Amino acid sequence: MKKDKIIPRIRKKNKQRKAQSLQLLQKNKKPVYINKSPSAWKASTILFLSSLMTIILVIPTLIVVPFMTESGEEEAAVEKKGDDVELAMGDSPFAVEVMRANSEQVETVPLETYVSRVVASETPAEFELEALKAQALAARTFIVNRLLHQDGADQSDVTDTTSDQVYHNDQELRQSMGSDYEEEMAKIKKAVAATKGEILTYENNPITAAYFSTSNGYTENSEDYWDNKVPYLRSVESPWDTNTQKFMDQKIFTKTELEESLGADLPTLDKLSMEVSRTEGNRVDQLTMGEKSYSGRKIREELGLKSSDFSIEKKNDHLIFTTKGFGHGIGMSQFGANGMAEDGKTYQEIVKHYYQGVDVSTVSDTAPALVAK
């Protein structure tokens, strides 16, 4: 074979090998990005992670959307978990204006929020749920009855003291309940929500839903402590109170202290005669000391006794007053209601025991004028 024919063939093969090598090299090369610097890629990555964290943190907070009440307190919309029941603004057909004793300012509070805070202020949260429901019903009935019969002259609908119903706002309840606030208020709100809009009526009218802490074993007829006879405020048995923490109390007075409190001159204790008459509810109706006579209510209020069911013992130069029960004794006993709940009674059975002949009705049916405001 001639040399000039062999060399071209060799050159052709070398060119083919070089082309194959170049293709293989290009396949194994990593891609090169001309327009992106390493720092730009770090910035993009940081931006992506920041957006992801924002979504994770912000979206859950949108489940509970805050709003402000007229009293300036922040509340939240409802988020239900399992059997938990909360109160929303829409659950209240009208608001209640509460005169705060300390600040002398009026707070405007949605009805059901007002009821939940009254229950929290008036009743131990460890009470049975049915007892809390009964208290919610009494508290709601009280304020509805008050609103229907007010003359409009007052600056507010109700006070926050025992002259009406004890009321503490959210901040005050958080302070008093401390670390138990969330758990206790959840239970109370559940009781209030379960009775939402319900009130007690007698002959289609809201009742005077009187209540008190602890009975002496009986409740009192209204006319035996107040002036008027009320058909549903009758004396009934309440044996559940007798083993509770507030059932008995004692106060000791000297003759001088007694005279100062009652504004009277009394004989020396060894010559002091005392006669007592009692009511159907076994509380003191009249106490005669020497030549002076006093109602059981007068003695209770002037001496600061827990109850008008009291007995008196002379000892040396002192008089010992031993009381049974705590409160005026009319209507529903709170500790009695809890005892009934512990015995398995429902809130409707509880209220119908303490308020004779009443019905459980609704605000919208009984007081449409209030709902329409």
Do both 102 and 124 map to the same domain? Answer: yes
Q: Which pLDDT belongs to residue 93?
A: 82
Position 260 in a domain: yes
Measured distance CA(17)–CA(20) in Å, rounded: 5
CA angle centred on 126, ends 123 and 129, rounded to 5°: 85
Do both 282 and 259 map to the same domain? Answer: yes
Closest Cα to residue 217, out of 333, 310, 349, 344? Answer: 333
Position 15 in a domain: no
In the DSSP assignment, the letter for residue 326 is B
Do both 110 and 247 map to the same domain? Answer: no
Position 12 in a domain: no
Q: Which pLDDT belongs to residue 153?
A: 63
Do both 247 and 263 map to the same domain? Answer: yes
Average pLDDT over residues 164-189: 96
Do both 199 and 253 map to the same domain? Answer: no
Residue 182 has pLDDT above 90, yes or no: yes
Do both 96 and 174 map to the same domain? Answer: yes
Q: What is the pLDDT of residues 24-81, one digit of tens each?
A: 334 444 443 434 444 544 555 555 555 555 554 444 444 333 333 333 343 433 333 3
Q: Which pLDDT belongs to residue 149?
A: 86
Q: How would you class 34 by CB atoms within 10 Å of its CB: exposed for 0-12, middle for 13-18, buried for 19 or more?
A: exposed
Return the minimum-mean-pLDDT range out of 53-62, 131-140, 294-303: 53-62
Q: What is the pLDDT of residues 227-242, one digit of tens each?
A: 999 999 999 999 999 9
Domain that holds residue 202: 90-209+331-372
Residue 200 has pLDDT above 50, yes or no: yes
Q: What is the pLDDT of residues 329-365, one digit of tens each?
A: 999 999 999 999 999 999 999 999 999 999 999 998 9
Position 68 in a domain: no
Position 26 in a domain: no
Position 309 in a domain: yes
Do both 98 and 197 map to the same domain? Answer: yes
What domain count does the chain have?
Answer: 2
For residue 161 the two structure tokens come to 């003291």
Do both 158 and 307 map to the same domain? Answer: no
Position 228 in a domain: no
